[in-house]
Amino acid sequence: MYILDIQASGTGDESYPAEIAWTRMDGSESYSTLINPDSVDGWEKWSHQAVHHGLTRQECCERGETATYVARRVAHLIKDYPVFSESPIEDQQWLDKLFMSAGKRCPAKLIPIEHAVRSRRRLELHRYLLARRDEHNAAANSLLLARAIRQINASAKSDRRNQSALSSSLKWLKDFSFVT
């Protein structure tokens, strides 16, 4: 299972993915890259929002991988593993645009991050998401989200162990009869 995050060149129809990152849920693997907009015809627009994320078009052009290469890396990941996103609708839009630029269809859909935790823990995740500071960096966001999911899931396991221990210690009450 992976967490994926994408930062874009803006929010309009002419915008495109500029940075993509993913982290394995257990924290053992992560990947991040800028996407070179010069590798795709028509990826020209650059908004102040991307600058807000700390990205420049020039930096993406100089240090970014081609859109085709990035699409290939994402295809390998997304076809073999469940991939979660904090913003699945927006990130799916950017993935679809990335794959379209490579002449391919995205092989799978992103899963809302809420599905990475048990349903009774979703409120805890929601509180975390509201309270955290958005790093405006895909790599940092994917790492932080994966860590939060691990912590929430670990606390759920701990709660289940405690519940099980409590019910085991009270088993003797089952056969006990009260006289009134």
CA–CA gap between residue 55 and residue 96 (Å, rounded): 21
* Of residues 112, 114, 111, the one with CA closest to residue 81: 111
> Amino acid letter at 76?
H
Which secondary structure element, helix H or strand E, spans residue 146, and what is its range? Answer: helix 138-169
Specify the pLDDT at position 174.
54
Which secondary structure element, helix H or strand E, spans residue 84, and what is its range? Answer: strand 83-85
Q: Give the SS3 label for residue 106.
A: coil
Specify the pLDDT at position 160.
55
First to last CA, the chain: 55
Specify the pLDDT at position 105.
94
Quick: pLDDT tens for 56-84.
Answer: 999 999 999 999 999 999 999 888 899 99
CA–CA gap between residue 114 and residue 122 (Å, rounded): 6
Given a contact cutoff of 8 angstroms between Cβ atoms, the answer to whether 84 and 111 are in contact is yes
Q: Greatest CA separation found in the chain?
A: 85
Quick: pLDDT tens for 121-174.
Answer: 888 888 877 776 666 789 988 998 998 899 898 886 555 554 555 555 555 445
